[in-house]
């Protein structure tokens, strides 16, 4: 089989890139080692920046997102028993974010891909990008015991942090930067109305907590936990009790609880691989970078990478220019490092670190006080939270 762009990974970045390429008439094949149902069963991000919303529209896949997503004009920073609202719209000249689950976004992109008749191959084992340094790269994979080969012009590595794409780059051609945080997030989903109509990011002596949502009747809540916690030891009751303790009393008293139907622990890490291009292979999204979830940036960064790569591929095929492809890595990384900085900063400001000194604690309190009393400081937070321009 031959295609122009072989896309490894059917997560948000692979599907969004595939959809934009298909609409532009650029033939592509999406390969994933997992099944469609498995991918749709993963619960991850929930906050979309306006740039991500725009890209979904550009991919003609945004209708359900606009109908069912919840535009949010602000959020609350809670500490010392009080809420401090960050007025995103007021501080950014009218920008807001959209609450719409990654699962739903993935679902919509898969549906539109199917309707467009573009090829996705699920449960593809041993996907291997080959001959990336030559002019005729190809990807091999196994399915039902048979080895297949897809010849292509380019490979888009959209296969997440644990994928094969980044690992295919020789060690000497890639540099990585990493910071691992000494805690994780324990998250649940429950069909109960959210405790507040806006998100609450809480800093509390017992640890960070986040009250988010997927709809007006479905809540997504997280609490900071230590890395050696076992999920089976967290009954729903224990989770609700701990979440309540970390919120200002007026929220804790109003919180509606109920059985959770998803519960998982995620470690927190910052990671960047540079450059994001190795000859005919381009790394996109989590394959190249990971951020701790505190700033809600992971999925949105994947989307901005897709934007840069799509524009570059369009230029290659329509104008016969490689300028965009040559600039892809540097352009994407300039935006990525700012989001890495922001996510690290939000994480540092909102969590309790196991080895915090009295000095560090005082600095954290001063940071929160400054943020909630200075319009300039709040504006910097809001500008980053709604997403820096592409
Ligand atoms: P992925 O979504 O990881 O998709 C990669 C795809 O590649 C997968 O479908 C996988 O099956 C496939 N794949 C992997 N290896 C191979 C292979 N060898 N061959 C073929 N296919 C392969 N971000 C937020 O903003 N907020 C959050 O709350 C949040 N929570 C998260 C929780 C967890 C547990 C994780 C892992 C991430 C979370 N993120 C969150 C980050 C966000 O979900 C990611 O940034 C986003 O999914 C990136 O999309 P992607 O398409 O680049 O990668
Ligand atoms: C969600 C996750 C985040 O990391 C965040 O900062 C906000 C919301 C969520 O899953 O809803």
For helices 323-350 and 358-373, what crossing angle results, to 10°?
110
Give yes or no for residue 134 having a pLDDT over 90.
no
- pLDDT of residue 288 exceeding 90, the answer is yes
For residue 163, what pLDDT is reported? Answer: 98
Q: Can you give the pTM of this predicted structure?
A: 0.97
Average pLDDT along the chain:
97
Ligand 1: centre distance to CA 318 (Å): 30
Among the listed residues 251, 297, 307, 351, the single catalytic one is 297
Residue having the nearest C-alpha atom to atom 34 of ligand 1: 266
Tell me, which fold does domain 5-72+95-178+269-348 have in CATH?
FAD/NAD(P)-binding domain (3.50.50)
- Cα-based torsion angle of the residue sequence 91, 93, 99, 101 in order, rounded to the nearest 10 degrees: -110
Q: What is the pLDDT of residues 303-360, one digit of tens each?
A: 999 999 999 999 999 999 999 999 999 999 999 999 999 999 999 999 999 999 999 9
Using CA atoms, how far apart are residues 388 and 48, in angstroms rounded to an integer? 13
Structure confidence by residue, pLDDT tens digits, 153-204: 999 999 999 999 999 999 999 999 999 999 999 999 999 999 999 999 999 9
Backbone CA torsion sign across 137, 157, 164, 176? positive
Residues 181-267+353-386: name the CATH superfamily.
D-Amino Acid Oxidase, subunit A, domain 2 (3.30.9.10)
The C-alpha atoms of residue 163 and residue 284 are separated, in whole angstroms, by 11
Give the mean model confidence (pLDDT) for residues 114-122: 98
Verify whether residue 137 is a known catalytic residue. no
Closest-lying ligand to the alpha carbon of 189?
Answer: 2
**Is 38 in the active site?**
no
Distance from residue 294's CA to the centre of ligand 2 (Å)? 7
Say how many Å lie between the CA of residue 1 and the centre of ligand 1. 27
Indicate if 181 belongs to the active site.
no
Residues 6+ apart with CB under 8 A from 49: 97, 300, 303, 386, 387
Cα–Cα separations (whole angstroms), residue 303 to 53, 98, 324: 9, 14, 17
The residue ranges of every structural domain in the chain are 5-72+95-178+269-348, 181-267+353-386
Give mean pLDDT, residues 386-390. Answer: 96
């Amino acid at each position: 089989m031959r295609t122009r762009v072989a896309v490894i990974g059917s997560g948000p970045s692979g599907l969004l890139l595939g959809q934009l390429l298909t609409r532009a008439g650029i033939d592509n094949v999406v390969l994933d080692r997992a099944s469609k149902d498995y991918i749709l069963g993963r619960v991850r991000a929930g906050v979309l920046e306006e740039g991500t919303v725009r890209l979904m529209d550009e991919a003609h896949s945004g209708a359900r997102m606009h109908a069912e997503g919840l535009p949010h004009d602000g959020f609350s920073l809670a500490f010392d028993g009080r809420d401090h609202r960050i007025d995103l719209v007021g501080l950014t000249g009218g920008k807001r974010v959209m609450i719409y689950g990654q699962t739903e976004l993935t679902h919509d992109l898969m549906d539109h891909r199917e309707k467009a008749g573009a090829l996705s191959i699920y449960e593809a084992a041993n996907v291997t990008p080959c001959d990336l340094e030559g002019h005729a790269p190809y990807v091999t994979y196994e399915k039902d015991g048979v080895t297949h080969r897809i010849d292509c012009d380019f490979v888009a590595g959209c296969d997440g942090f644990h994928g094969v794409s980044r690992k295919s780059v020789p060690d000497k051609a890639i540099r990585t930067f990493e910071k691992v945080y000494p805690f994780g997030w324990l998250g649940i989903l429950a069909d109960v109305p959210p405790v507040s109509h806006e998100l609450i990011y809480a800093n509390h002596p017992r640890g960070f907590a986040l009250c988010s949502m997927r709809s007006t009747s479905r809540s997504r809540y997280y609490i900071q936990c230590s890395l050696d916690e076992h999920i089976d030891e967290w009954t729903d009751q224990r989770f609700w009790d701990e979440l309540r303790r970390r919120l200002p009393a007026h929220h804790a008293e109003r919180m509606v609880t109920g059985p959770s139907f998803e519960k998982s622990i995620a470690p927190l890490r910052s990671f960047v691989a540079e450059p994001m291009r190795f000859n005919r292979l381009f790394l996109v999204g989590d394959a190249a970078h990971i951020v701790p979830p505190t700033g809600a940036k992971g999925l949105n960064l994947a989307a901005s990478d897709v934007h840069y790569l799509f524009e570059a591929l369009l230029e290659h095929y329509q104008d016969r220019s490689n300028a965009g492809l040559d600039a892809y890595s540097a352009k994407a990384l300039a935006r990525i490092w700012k989001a890495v900085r922001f996510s690290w900063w939000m994480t540092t400001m909102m969590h309790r670190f196991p080895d915090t000194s009295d000095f560090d604690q005082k600095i954290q309190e001063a940071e929160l006080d400054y943020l909630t009393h200075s319009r300039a400081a709040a504006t910097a937070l809001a500008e980053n939270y709604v997403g820096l321009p592409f």
